[in-house]
Amino acid sequence: MSAWAQIGAIVRRSVTRTARQPASIIPPLVFPVALLAVNAGGLRASTELPGFPTTSFLAFALAVPFIQGALFSTMNAGTDLARDIQTGFLNRLSLTSLRDWPLLLGQLGGVVVLGTVQAVFYLTVGLVVGVRFESGVPGILVLLLFGVIIALAFGAVGAWLAFRTGSGEAIQAFFPVFFVFLFISSMNAPRNLIGVDWFRIAATLNPVSYMIEAVRSLIITGWDWQALGLGFGFVTAIGVAAFALAARAMRTRLTRT
Amino acid sequence: MRRWNVVSGVAWRTLKNALTNPQILLPTMLFPLFFFTAFAGGLSQVSKVPGFDFPPGYTAFQFVFVLLQAAAFGGVFTGFGVARDFEGGFAKRLLLAAPHRSGIVLGYALAALGRWAITAALLTVVALLVGMEVGGGAVDVVGLYTLAMLVNFCGYFWAAGIAMRFRTIQAAPLMQMPVFLVLFFAPVYVPLSLLEGWLRTVASVNPITYLLETGRGFVAGDAPHVLGAFALALAFGCLFWLWSFRGLRSAEAAGA
Amino acid sequence: MSAANGIEVVGLVREYRKGPRAVDGIDLSVAPGEIYGFLGPNGAGKSTTVHVLTTLLPPTAGTARVGGFDVVKEGPKVRSIIGVALQEAALDPLLTARDHLRLQATLQSVPKSERRARADELLERVGLADAADRKVQGYSGGMKRRLDLALALVHRPRILFLDEPTTGLDPQSRTALWEEVARLRREDGVTVFLTTQYLEEADVLADRVGIIDHGRIVAEGSPAALKDEIGRPSVHAIPCDERDREAIARVLGRFGEPLGSTRDVAVRLREGVGLADIVRALDAEGLTLLDLELRAPTLDDVFLAKTGRTLEGAAEEAEVEPGRGGV
């Protein structure tokens, strides 16, 4: 069996499993949109601040669900994989002729599919409520690509945690940490309009700010190559690092088990 | 006396669990702190929006919301504990041992209050450390915390009612989501007058808006509709108290 | 007989919504200081009965008085005089044994000055003194059962309900628990209502046994009286050569009614038949046996005689019949 066929088989199983768990599909779709609705209504007044980059807070905030959804991907990928470890299913897979990296890549198949569905959903919600994309249709395609890459990168983080801890509960315990990364960022205000110094510095050091800003630029600015470069750069770096760590952790665990 | 034994026994056990197991207490303590940090820190410039008029400043403005939010969720999280006890069978032990079962519901309520008190103390210390200004006097402060206490009871009695009807932790979203929605469909970031569109319509009829305005007024030293807010909180408290006791009856009829 | 420590049940029914009648009109009475064994397969209605008698579940119809108090109208009074150890130990994994005892003593209004001494005494008695300050989540099944029993005894109850107390226990723990139950009756005069699916347990412990099947009591009396009622022993033969099985069954059939069995050939003997008659008849046919055994009637025979099934078979049946049965 070729590596691609192996990946295909694992992806199929991963997608089926994800599709059969409404509990892992619905929250990543509903919660970010609910938060978007609340913030867009509650913070509309902040668009009146001098220097705010747009007159529509909805357009400004639409970037957030893409990142929030990706954080859910981390949890889902991690929890699913941890369950495979706990139930011994991973052992079953490792007893086949499957090689290491197709196993890892395949496991993330479900996350990528869900990530794509999420991105399309948020995009549709944005378009339905009247958000205009300054970068046009090509920008929308780039946004979808970004959604897939970010789901893959964060999914790899989840996989790394799963291989390291082997416990679904341990993965869930990381959730608040991701939440902190999301909220201490430029999620609700442009960085130059964050008044509290330490918060602005933390948001500037936080890679999540740049991911949000990359998506945001496609919506409210047009083609801001610097924002896109930083966003894609950070996602790619995190993804590569997470894959490397996950692959190493997987080899350790498979040797151990 | 016997009823008090049940109340104190259940409260002691629930609080002991929370205090000796960080995984239970920490989320209730850290989440409000985190929200406070994220809102008061990240959005402080919002107070410069034309029409935003709250003399004590944005930190105090957000402090009141987070205090009430922590109160409500402190109650809801205790409701999770009730559901877990019914699901795991421990509630049977309480139902069997307690001569007066209403004491069980009140015991958890006392524990919810204890948990919130710890969180509220921490939140207050942090808010004062980061320079929160308080315009109100001692009576206002007592008023604010009493109001939050009533919100804590409302949150708990609501969640306990659900917990005892469903008797499984899978009912957690049902306990949590309505509270989350009621809290956030209110003037969280800006006063009601600065809200627009559908959120303004919803927030205008949301009882939490009323309580928030009074609570923020306490901090500013000029609380509006104080009697109305307390009457509203008490009315909801009584309503949810009845709701939770009906829940207990439903659990008893089902054999817990 | 609603005596202070007794139990009296008349026409008790408990129906579950969309379910069968878990308890279908039972009458029973337990005398003060008696150990009453409630015997039946899984799903027979034992636990439902215990739940009703301990005020955890209201009956659909009928009355039940425990210690002279009505379980529906006087729940708090019933709860104050009973101790209960349910099938599932109902413990909080995050509390220690001592925490549990303290909680239980508070709930049961044991005077504050006595709580510590009572806890120490019970921990010692159930052999948990060394593990008293460890969280229950690290306890073995047997330790949890022992703690459960200690908790049931905290307030010196007059009536003790034990719902399948030895299920899942190793033989050593089982014997220890039997001894403790017997001691409680002997020394403290506690009335014990014990459900079990183990014949041996009912036989060893109970003064009287009620056999329940499909929510109805099918037999009641002392184990000896119940076995006497069946009266006749059975004979069990194991053939040397499996090909002789039919011939042996034919010979044995002359002396009684056949009993369903896969391993041996067995008949319940008619009145007046002796083992010697059978041996002679088998010998005359030239049939040789590996083993021939005369067995006195057991409670399983009683169950078989009353329900047409063995207790073991009924348990298996209950497993494939979800929805029928207890709590």
User: Quick check: C124 contacting B, CB < 8 Å?
Assistant: no
H helix runs in chain C, sequence order: 46-53, 75-81, 97-107, 112-125, 141-153, 171-188, 199-205, 223-230, 245-253, 275-284, 299-307, 311-319
User: Quick check: B187 contacting A, CB < 8 Å?
Assistant: yes
* Whole-number pLDDT of residue B213: 96
CA atoms within 13 A on the CB side of B162: 23
CATH class of C232-296: alpha beta
Using CB atoms, pick whichever of B30, B189, B198 lies closest to residue A43: B189
Q: Say which DSSP state C270 is in.
A: P
User: Quick check: B131 contacting A, CB < 8 Å?
Assistant: no
User: Quick check: B51 contacting A, CB < 8 Å?
Assistant: yes
Contact at 8 Å (CB) between A46 and A190? no
Strands of the C21-30 sheet, one edge to the other? C21-30, C7-15, C61-66, C69-70
| C77 alpha-carbon distance from chain centroid | 26
B17 and C108: CB-CB below 8 Å?
no
Over residues C134-152, the mean pLDDT reads: 90
A195 and B45: CB-CB below 8 Å?
yes
A19 CB burial (10 A radius; 0-12, 13-18, 19+): middle
- Which chain A residues in 13-42 lie under 8 Å from chain B, judged by CB atoms? 34, 37-39, 41-42
**Distance (Å) from the C-alpha of residue B112 to the closest C-alpha of chain A?**
22
User: Quick check: C103 contacting B, CB < 8 Å?
Assistant: yes
Instruction: Count the neighbouring beta carbons within 10 Å of the beta carbon of residue C54.
Output: 25
Between residues C310 and C239, which one has the greater pLDDT? C239
pLDDT band, residue C326 (cuts 50/70/90) = very low
Report phi then psi at B94, rounded to 5.
-65, -45
C95 and B16: CB-CB below 8 Å?
yes
Is C touching A (3+ C-beta pairs, cut-off 8 A)?
A: no
- Which of B96, B105, B164 is the best mutation test for C, with the most CBs of C within 10 A? B96
User: Quick check: B45 contacting A, CB < 8 Å?
Assistant: yes
Instruction: Please name which of B18, B157, B8, B153 lies closest in space to residue B94, comparing C-alpha atoms.
Output: B8
Q: Which chains neighbour B (Cβ–Cβ under 8 Å, 3 or more pairs)?
A: A, C
Strands of the C289-295 sheet, one edge to the other? C256-259, C265-269, C234-239, C289-295
Instruction: Please name which of A143, A148, A106, A127 lies closest in space to residue A246, comparing C-alpha atoms.
Output: A106
Over residues B138-150, the mean pLDDT reads: 97
* Whole-number pLDDT of residue A257: 47
Residues of B in contact with C54 (CB under 8 A): 96
The pLDDT tens digits for C40-62 are 888 889 989 999 999 988 999 99
Helix (H) or strand (E) holding C24: strand C21-30
User: Quick check: B41 contacting A, CB < 8 Å?
Assistant: yes
- Which chain B residues in 164-183 lie under 8 Å from chain A, judged by CB atoms? 181
Q: Which residues contact B121 (CB under 8 A, 6 or more apart)?
A: none
Report the chain C residue with the minimal C-alpha distance to residue B89: C90
pLDDT band, residue C272 (cuts 50/70/90) = confident
* Whole-number pLDDT of residue C323: 38
Please say if the pLDDT value at position B220 is more than 90. yes
- Domain count for chain B: 1
- Whole-number average pLDDT of chain C: 85
CA distance C299 to C230: 9
Please say if the pLDDT value at position C225 is more than 70. yes
Please say if the pLDDT value at position B209 is more than 70. yes
Beta-sheet pairing, C21-30 with C7-15: antiparallel
Between residues A257 and C215, which one has the greater pLDDT? C215
CA distance C73 to C189: 26
B93 and C94: CB-CB below 8 Å?
no
Contact at 8 Å (CB) between C319 and C42? yes
Q: Which chains neighbour C (Cβ–Cβ under 8 Å, 3 or more pairs)?
A: B
Helix (H) or strand (E) holding B106: helix B102-129
Beta-sheet pairing, C191-196 with C159-163: parallel
Instruction: Please name which of B27, B122, B126 lies closest in space to residue B78, comparing C-alpha atoms.
Output: B27
B16 and C58: CB-CB below 8 Å?
no
Instruction: Please name which of C25, B91, B62 lies closest in space to residue A195, comparing C-alpha atoms.
Output: B62
The pLDDT tens digits for B66-79 are 999 999 999 999 99
* Whole-number pLDDT of residue C322: 40
The pLDDT tens digits for A139-151 are 999 999 999 899 9
Q: Say which DSSP state C207 is in.
A: S
CA distance C68 to B128: 61
Place of tokens 């927030």: B203
Report the chain A residue with the minimal C-alpha distance to residue B46: A46
CA distance C185 to C199: 20
Distances (CA, A) of C198 to A216, B87, C165, C315: 70, 28, 11, 11
A184 and B42: CB-CB below 8 Å?
yes
User: Quick check: B23 contacting C, CB < 8 Å?
Assistant: no
> What dihedral angle (degrees, nearest 10) is formed by the CA atoms of C26, C29, C33, C36?
-30
B255 and C103: CB-CB below 8 Å?
no
CA distance B200 to B197: 6
Q: Say which DSSP state C96 is in.
A: B
Interface pTM (ipTM) of the complex? 0.79
C103 and B12: CB-CB below 8 Å?
yes
Residues of B in contact with C67 (CB under 8 A): none
User: Quick check: B46 contacting A, CB < 8 Å?
Assistant: yes
C106 and B252: CB-CB below 8 Å?
no
CA distance C34 to C180: 15
Report the chain B residue with the minimal C-alpha distance to residue A192: B45
Report the chain B residue with the minimal C-alpha distance to residue C112: B5
Per-residue pLDDT of chain A (257 residues; tens, 9 = 90+): 567 777 787 888 888 877 777 767 787 888 889 889 888 888 888 898 988 999 999 999 999 999 988 887 777 778 888 888 887 777 777 666 677 777 788 888 878 888 888 899 999 999 999 899 999 999 999 999 999 899 999 999 999 999 998 887 778 777 777 878 888 999 989 999 998 888 999 999 999 999 999 999 999 999 999 999 999 999 999 999 999 999 899 888 876 44
* Whole-number pLDDT of residue C118: 94
The pLDDT tens digits for A49-93 are 988 999 999 999 999 999 988 887 777 778 888 888 887 777 777
Share of chain C above pLDDT 90, in %: 37
User: Quick check: C281 contacting B, CB < 8 Å?
Assistant: no
Q: Which of B27-36, C213-222, C231-240 is most confident? A: C213-222
User: Quick check: A187 contacting B, CB < 8 Å?
Assistant: yes
Contact at 8 Å (CB) between C239 and C289? yes
**Number of CB pairs < 8 Å for B and C?**
76
> What dihedral angle (degrees, nearest 10) is formed by the CA atoms of A202, A207, A212, A218?
130
Over residues B185-195, the mean pLDDT reads: 92
B99 and C76: CB-CB below 8 Å?
yes
Instruction: Please name which of A235, A236, A240 lies closest in space to residue A213, comparing C-alpha atoms.
Output: A235
Residue ranges matching CATH 3.30.70.980 in chain C: 232-296
Instruction: Please name which of B134, B95, B118, B106 lies closest in space to residue B30, comparing C-alpha atoms.
Output: B118
Using CB atoms, pick whichever of B34, B187, B198 lies closest to residue A180: B34
The number of residues in chain C equals 327
Grouping H, G, I as helix, E, B as strand and the rest as coil, residue C64 is: strand
H helix runs in B130-185, sequence order: 138-166, 172-184
Report the chain C residue with the minimal C-alpha distance to residue B95: C56
A43 and B43: CB-CB below 8 Å?
yes
Contact at 8 Å (CB) between B27 and B21? no
* Whole-number pLDDT of residue B235: 97
C58 and B253: CB-CB below 8 Å?
yes
Q: Which two tokens stand for residue C177?
A: 């628990």
User: Quick check: B230 contacting A, CB < 8 Å?
Assistant: no
Report the chain C residue with the minimal C-alpha distance to residue B248: C56
Contact at 8 Å (CB) between A40 and A125? no
Q: Which two tokens stand for residue C302?
A: 């009683």
**Distance (Å) from the C-alpha of residue B175 to the closest C-alpha of chain A?**
16
Angle at B37 (CA atoms; ends B125, A23), nearest 5 degrees: 120
pLDDT band, residue C316 (cuts 50/70/90) = low
* Whole-number pLDDT of residue C318: 55
B45 and A180: CB-CB below 8 Å?
no
Using CB atoms, pick whichever of C84, C92, C107 lies closest to residue B98: C107
Domain ranges of chain A: 3-256
Task: Label each residue of chain A as H, E or C.
Answer: CCHHHHHHHHHHHHHHHHHCCHHHHHHHHHHHHHHHHHHHHHCHHHHHCCCCCCCCHHHHHCHHHHHHHHHHHHHHHHHHHHHHHHHCHHHHHHCCCCCHHHHHHHHCHHHHHHHHHHHHHHHHHHHHCCCCCCCHHHHHHHHHHHHHHHHHHHHHHHHHHHHHHCCHHHHHHCHHHHHHHHHCCCCCCCHHHCCCHHHHHHHHHCHHHHHHHHHHHHHHHCCCHHHHHHHHHHHHHHHHHHHHHHHHHHHHHHHHC
Give the CATH number of domain C7-227.
Answer: 3.40.50.300
Instruction: Please name which of A112, A103, A113 lies closest in space to residue A163, comparing C-alpha atoms.
Output: A103
Report phi then psi at C272, rounded to 5.
80, 0
* Whole-number pLDDT of residue A97: 65
- Which of A46, A56, A181 is the best mutation test for B, with the most CBs of B within 10 A? A46
Q: Which of A191-205, B135-149, B167-181 has the lowest mean pLDDT?
A: B167-181
Residue ranges matching CATH 3.40.50.300 in chain C: 7-227
A179 and B34: CB-CB below 8 Å?
yes
